[in-house]
Amino acid sequence: MPERSESDSRKLLRRLRDSLAERGEGQERLNRITSLIADSMHTEVCSIYLFRDAETLELCATEGLRPESVHQTRLRLGEGLVGRVARTAVPVNTADAPAAKGFRFMPETGEEIFSSFLGVPIQRVGEKLGVLVVQSKAARQYSDDEVYALEVVAMVLAEMTELGAFLGEGEALRALHKQPVMFRGGTGQEGAAEGQVWLHEARVVVTNPVADDPLTEIERIRAAVGKLRVSVDDIMAAQSLDKEQKQVLEAYRMFAHSRGWLRRMEEDIQAGLSAEAAVQKEQSAARARMSQVPDAYLRERLHDLDDLSNRLLRILTGQGRDTGAEMPDNPVLVARNIGPAELLEYGRKLRGVVLAEGSVGSHAAIVARALAIPLVINANGIIAEALNGDRILVDGDQGIVHLRPEESVATAFGDKIAMQAQAQQRYAGLRDKPAISTCGTTISLQMNAGLMADLPSLESSGAEGVGLFRTELQFLIRNKMPKRDELARLYARVMDAAKGCRVAFRTLDIGSDKVLPYMKPQDEPNPAMGWRAIRVGLDKPGVLRMQAQALIRAAQGRPLSIMFPFVTEHAEFIAARTHVLGQLKREEALGHATPATIEIGAMLETPSLAFAPRAFFEAADFVSIGGNDLKQFFFAADRENERVRRRYDTLNASFLGFIRQIVARCEETQTTLSFCGEDAGRPVEAVCLAAMGLRSLSMRPSSIGPVKSLIRRTDLQALRKVIEAECAAGVESVRPAVMDFLARPQD
């Protein structure tokens, strides 16, 4: 059979557009389309399979197969040649379908008489919608031009599906963006929120996928790409960019100036697509190709290409980022990913955040925790499904998102939020009361912070001080290193807002999951154990000294507490402390006001420091256990890895025994000890830590009420006896016994 010309492709698309413009129900339109495609491509069969759910395809229309098989024939994702196309998003083209790998015979369709098979994915910017198939009796391989023509048709079908052109009865023909959907992701920040979707990147919908005048469309695409290239070149020419930033942007610029990218889009236009549809076709094709690439770096470049494609679509449509839509009063931000500065711009007006990607240690998660905003990460598929204004429920505790929930789900969720609100009201009544257990043990409850916006919670939560102030957030949200004087002013405002309460400033904790945008990325196989925190400070002493100067000047004669992150040995602590004391002497020599008192401590986040010589505990004014890192290193379980991070229990007998050893070492030298981390804010874990001898816990402000409430109802001495008895009995986790003890009435 001769190859088909580009004019034939345009003719087919015009016929398709005219057919779609005719009145009729969704099923009727699908039937017309399959007949039209089979006729235009001179094949005996054309079939359209659409997803009825995430794992199942359904035959929704056919020309050439048995009509009674429509809506009856179903395939699992990956099953048969159709399922293979759907799973891989790669066309299957074979002259002998029964002999092809993965073939599944479906007798109800009557397809046994058709030998050749061509199937292409129906997809839209990474969202898989279905599969378009043509078949013939003759055993022949379809030409490259025929494959391309069918891909172009599939692109138009995807856009028309998005626009609701094929609505009908049954799951496969249901209206998009109308049904309730649940997404199961991961917990980035605990809490529950109800609101309306606010998309960080507004969806661009192509309403004109077919164009009659290819020359005009090519002029449009060239002009738009020209504008795009100028905008990227402007970013590259910015004076504020350093060498490393420009190297990162070079990959971005390379895509924008790619001749192959523009050539492929022009070929799509010659085949009959509009400029906008050509952009989306190439975006979808690139997503399918790059998602199969094993190299992680190359897969990351997919984000660059996605961003460029979206920018190009906005230029073509004239939409821009501002679509004119008004942010709702109760916005829940939905995004693929988001940087810390962008999230801070939204601030506390957000009820919650849902990310399609992200990690528990990402910059966005750090800011969400600082703002106490419920965050769910890795909610795969939500970008394609959510629309601005959709009702959404965010369960940060379980890592679950309900989009357009059924009323029964919404009611149950509302009850949960109401119960939490009632509990918070009860906890508010404890705000000014001490955290004293029934056995008379007093526990100091402090809060974690990282932003000025956190400080009002110091009074409202009843916290006695700030046990951890994360100074890295001020570095993460900037495009260049902050100056000493602006840091000094910020730290002074923090102390002012604390109104005399103690604030423990943690020096810059970067590296691992917190990489500064202006810092050269480190290609490390295991960054959590790599060049990070105090290691960076000691290797870059200028930054450590600058931060020490800013903190000393901010104190203005008030007490100052400084602690170093990720100290692993005595020598590191002494070296870091020497830098701080050196700056203290320098400030005195300059005649500047110095702190009334200064205490210098360390965060114990690695088991090695627990076994440091006695001299370390004597030299440190205080020690704060960094529970999140200590637990991941104790169990060798990466807290960024969803498969293992919840595998090990904080109430594991071995871990609690280790905590007790640290408590004993600090008691020997009378070194002040506290515990900072997620477990400090979990009431059951908190009372167990207190029972093991910890007398100071630092947590999120919202956790102080629940923790204080349980401490005031618990006999810590009796609880310790329960824990010790369980450990002596050789149990793996003391949790069952602890829960049983806490459930019993206590005198």
Query: Phi then psi for 548, rounded to 5 degrees?
Result: -65, -40
Q: What is the pTM of this model?
A: 0.68
* Of the residues 317, 341, 361, the one at which a domain ends: 317
Confidence of residue 301 (pLDDT cuts 50, 70, 90): low
Q: Are strands 622-626 and 598-604 parallel, antiparallel or unpaired?
A: parallel
Residue 128: which pLDDT band, with cuts at 50, 70 and 90?
confident
Residue % of the chain over a pLDDT of 70:
89
Q: What is the mean pLDDT of residues 27-37?
A: 91
How far is residue 286's CA from residue 305's CA, in Å, rounded to a whole number? 8
Tokens read off for 695: 């007398």
For residues 565 and 651, state if they share a domain.
yes
Structure tokens at 477: 């949200």
Quick one: average pLDDT of 86-107? 90
Q: Is the pLDDT reported for residue 277 higher than 70? A: yes
CATH of the domain at 569: 3.20.20.60
Higher pLDDT, 679 or 317: 679
Mean pLDDT for the stretch of residues 471-490: 82
Q: What pLDDT was estimated at residue 449?
A: 87
Q: What pLDDT is recorded for position 242?
A: 53
Query: Residue 390 sits in a domain of what CATH number?
Result: 3.50.30.10
In the structure, what pLDDT confidence band is assigned to residue 477 with cuts at 50, 70 and 90? low
With respect to residue 438, please indicate whether it lies within any of the assigned structural domains: no
Q: Which two tokens stand for residue 592?
A: 């500047």
Which tens digits make up the pLDDT trace of 543-572? 899 999 999 999 999 999 999 999 999 999
State residue 380's pLDDT score.
84
Using an 8 Å Cβ cutoff, are 290 and 301 in contact?
A: yes
Q: Do 37 and 128 belong together in one domain?
A: yes
505 pLDDT band, cuts 50/70/90, is: very high
Tens digit of each residue's pLDDT (9 = 90 or more) over 43-59: 999 999 999 888 899 99
Q: Which residue has the higher pLDDT, 475 or 73?
A: 73
Tell me the CATH number at 59: 3.30.450.40
Number of other residues whose CB lies within 10 A of the CB of residue 427: 19
Alpha helices, H only, 120-242: 144-162, 214-236
Structure tokens at 385: 């499904």
Q: Which of 403, 420, 437 finishes a domain?
A: 420
Residue 731 lies in a domain: no
Question: What pLDDT does residue 648 have?
Answer: 86
**One-letter amino acid identity for 662?**
I
Query: Which spans in 525-626 are helix H?
Result: 534-539, 541-555, 570-589, 607-610, 614-619
Confidence tier at 1 by pLDDT (50, 70, 90): very low
Region 636-646 average pLDDT: 78
Please check whether residues 452 and 403 belong to one and the same domain.
no
Q: What is the pLDDT of residue 410?
A: 86
CATH code of the domain containing 284: 1.10.274.10
Mean pLDDT score across all residues of the chain: 85
- One domain, residues 31 and 151: yes
Q: Is residue 243 part of a domain?
A: yes
**Percent of all residues in the chain with a pLDDT value above 90, rounded to a whole number:** 46
pLDDT score for 19: 79
Least confident interval from 133-147, 189-203, 311-325, 485-499: 311-325
Query: Residue 287: CB partners within 8 Å, gap ≥ 6?
Result: 89, 123, 125, 126, 302, 306
529, pLDDT greater than 70: yes
Both 145 and 42 in a single domain?
A: yes
pLDDT band at 3 (very low <50, low <70, confident <90, very high): very low
Residue with tokens 């679950």: 400
Q: Residue 363 pLDDT more than 70? A: no
Residue with tokens 């807290």: 639
Contact residues for 206 (Cβ-Cβ < 8 A; gap 6+): 159, 274, 276, 277, 280, 313
Per-residue model confidence (pLDDT) at position 248: 53
Are both 497 and 585 inside the same structural domain? yes
Domain span at 525: 445-699
Residue 361: pLDDT band by 50, 70, 90 thresholds?
low
Q: How confident is the model at residue 429 (pLDDT cuts 50, 70, 90)?
A: confident
The pLDDT assigned to 426 comes to 81
Q: For residues 362 and 499, state if they share a domain.
A: no
Do 604 and 559 share a structural domain? yes
* Least confident piece of the model among 7-16, 77-86, 242-251, 384-393: 242-251
Most confident range (mean pLDDT) of 214-228, 250-264, 362-376 is 214-228
Residues 166 and 300 in one domain: no
What is the tally of structural domains in the chain?
Answer: 4
CA pair distance 458, 447, nearest whole angstrom: 7
User: What is the structure's pLDDT at 4?
Assistant: 42
Region at 556 (left for phi over 0; alpha for psi -120 to 50; beta for the rest): left
Residue 431 has pLDDT above 50, yes or no: yes
Q: Lowest-confidence range among 5-19, 288-302, 426-440?
A: 288-302
Q: Which two tokens stand for residue 428?
A: 């508010």
Q: Are residues 512 and 640 in the same domain?
A: yes
Q: Which of 618, 680, 617 is nearest to 650 (CA)?
A: 680
Show the tokens assigned to 175.
């209206």
**Is residue 11 domain-shared with residue 144, that is, in the same domain?**
yes
